[in-house]
Amino acid sequence: MPEDAHKDAMRTPATPEKADNNNERPPAVATAVNVPLVNEVQLTAATGGAELSCYRCTVPFGVVVLIAGIVVTAVAYSFNSHGSTISYFGLVLLSAGLVLLASSAVCWKVRLERKKERRRESQTALVANQRSIFT
């Protein structure tokens, strides 16, 4: 008898929609949404310039993935499970961490070179302007 009370408590009452399967529902109405186009200046203003700092973002992720790869590979090889799924997973994590760190180093170097080039251009413009003033 207690089992019957639990069965009744677990049942959900039938709603009118479920009770009448013969009634057809009206077709769904599709609405169109206009997505505004965003230019680079608006994106920079919205993100605070974070889109230009890929190396700052990939360094922490690269370090975390590299540490996870070291740990997983160490665990896999401590159990002498060479060629197993976990050892392959550890090696994939190791290589992904190294790739992330290498890409962040490349982005950092490229950004540094661009910064140096901008300084040279502005300094050249200043020197040329100064020469025209004195001549």
What pLDDT, in 10s, does the model give residues 36-69?
A: 777 777 767 776 666 666 667 788 888 999 999 9
pLDDT of 59: 85
Please report which confidence band the pLDDT of residue 96 belongs to, taking 50, 70 and 90 as the band edges.
Answer: very high
Helices (H), the chain: 2-10, 16-19, 40-47, 54-78, 85-134
pLDDT of 38: 73
pLDDT at 91 over 70: yes
d(CA 75, CA 83): 13
pLDDT of 18: 52
Task: Read off the pTM.
Answer: 0.52
pLDDT of 34: 77
Task: Give the tokens for residue 66.
Answer: 């590299």
CB 76 within 8 A of CB 87: yes
Please report which confidence band the pLDDT of residue 12 belongs to, taking 50, 70 and 90 as the band edges.
Answer: low
d(CA 47, CA 53): 11
User: Where is mean pLDDT largest: 30-39, 48-57, 74-83?
Assistant: 74-83
CB 70 within 8 A of CB 94: yes
